[in-house]
């Protein structure tokens, strides 16, 4: 039977594994599922249709499953799904999806979400991600093994590629290519995330290939303003046809170039903004409620 502190409030409809620990002053709603070995240390709130996997630790004042902060959300029973073995630290907030695009806001496995991080509606976060006290807007996709420094804010519909590193206090408004370091104001690609790649077992040959790709794609832009051209992408594709990591980088670059405002997923955005602007509706002679 789950170990539930007498001061915790757990709805009878919640589905709690037998070895879950729920500490003082926690609040767990009726549509919550918590997997084996997970721990809610104290003053944790889990609401909405939220599924939490195995072996997670939720620290004081974390709030999971809140309704999305989005004008197109109208109270639907949307979902938040969290994987296994995550550390979700103090005052982290993660919201459910809107139900308009993603099946759920999703968090993968083995992530460290540090204090005060906010993950908004419809975000998809992979596994082995380290995220300091950052703010993610809605509809962001973060691939595996990404590290994001403190105070970073990420624009909605941005994609952050695998093994990328974002320095602290970075304002991210465009997609971040995999394997790269982005930082500064304005944010720029500064080089290959060599330390992260080596720590994760990448072969030196692959790292050198990615460095060469960085020079071809980004260093040219620093000196001539031409970088990321179709020619550079084509040259690198021919030069490294058998390196899957270089090819993955090149495809991510093509996706971003084909997107809107440097954001690949922005091109998939539903055309719902007009209905949320009464002034636009009045100018067109329509009604904002349509």
pLDDT value at residue 272:
53
At 240, the pLDDT band (50, 70, 90 cuts) reads very high
At 220, the pLDDT band (50, 70, 90 cuts) reads low
Asked about 85 being catalytic, the answer comes back as no
Asked about 138 being catalytic, the answer comes back as yes
pLDDT value at residue 279:
41
pLDDT value at residue 69:
97
- % of the chain at pLDDT higher than 70: 90
Q: Which of 49, 61, 95, 121 is catalytic?
A: 121
Average pLDDT over residues 135-147: 98
Taking the CA atoms of the chain, what radius of gyration do you get in angstroms?
21
Q: Which of 70, 84, 122, 175 is catalytic?
A: 122
Backbone φ and ψ for 256, nearest 5 degrees, come out as -65, -40
Asked about 84 being catalytic, the answer comes back as no
Q: What SS3 string covers the chain?
A: CCEECCCCEECCCCEECCCCEECCCCEECCCEEECCCCEECCCCEECCEEEECCCCEECCCCEEEECCCCCCCCCCCCEEEECCCCEECCCCEEECCCCCCCCCEEECCCCEECCCCEECCCCEECCCCEECCCEECCCCEECCCCEECCCCEECCCCEECCCCEECCCCEECCCECCCEEEECCCCEEEEECHHHHHHCCCCHHHHHHHHHHHHHHHHHHHHHCCCCCHHHHHHHHHHCCCCHHHHHHHHHHHHHHHCECCEHHHHHCCCCCHHHCHHHHHHCCCCCCC
Average pLDDT over residues 168-172: 97
Helices 230-239 and 244-258: crossing angle in degrees, nearest 10, is: 160
* Structure-token pair, residue 64: 């999971």
Residue 155 CB partners (closer than 8 Å, separation 6+): 137, 171, 172, 173, 174, 263
Q: Which of 23, 65, 138, 191 is catalytic?
A: 138
pLDDT value at residue 185:
87
User: Does the pLDDT of residue 202 top 50, yes or no?
Assistant: yes
Q: pLDDT for 8-56, tens place per residue?
A: 999 999 999 999 999 999 999 999 999 999 999 999 999 999 999 999 9
Q: Residue 192, Cβ neighbours under 10 Å: how many?
A: 25
Average pLDDT, the chain: 91
């Amino acid at each position: 039977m789950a170990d539930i502190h007498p001061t915790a409030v757990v709805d009878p409809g919640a589905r709690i594994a037998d070895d879950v620990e729920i500490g003082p002053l926690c609040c767990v709603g009726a549509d919550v599922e918590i997997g084996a070995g997970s721990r809610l240390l104290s003053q944790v709130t889990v609401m909405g249709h939220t599924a939490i996997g195995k072996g997670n630790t939720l620290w004081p004042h974390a709030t999971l499953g809140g309704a999305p902060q989005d004008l197109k959300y109208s109270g639907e029973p949307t979902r938040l799904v969290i994987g296994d073995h995550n550390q979700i630290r103090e005052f982290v907030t993660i919201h459910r999806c809107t139900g308009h695009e993603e099946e759920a806001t999703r968090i993968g496995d083995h992530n460290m979400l540090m204090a005060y991080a906010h993950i908004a509606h419809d975000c998809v976060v992979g596994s082995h991600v380290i995220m300091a006290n950052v703010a993610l807007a809605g509809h962001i996709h973060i691939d595996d093994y990404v590290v994001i420094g403190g105070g970073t804010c990420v624009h909605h519909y941005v994609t952050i590629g695998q093994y990328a590193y974002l320095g602290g206090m970075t304002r991210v408004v465009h997609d971040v290519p995999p394997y790269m370091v982005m930082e500064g104001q304005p944010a720029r690609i500064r080089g290959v995330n060599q330390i992260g790649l080596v720590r994760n077992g990448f072969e030196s040959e692959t790292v050198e290939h990615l460095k060469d790709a960085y020079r071809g794609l980004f260093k040219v832009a620093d000196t001539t303003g031409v970088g990321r051209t179709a020619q550079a992408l084509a040259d690198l594709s021919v030069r490294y046809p058998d390196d899957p990591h270089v090819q993955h980088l090149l495809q991510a670059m093509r996706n971003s170039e084909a997107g809107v405002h440097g954001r690949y997923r922005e091109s998939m955005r539903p055309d719902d903004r007009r209905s949320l602007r009464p002034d636009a509706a009045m100018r067109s002679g329509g009604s904002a409620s349509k």
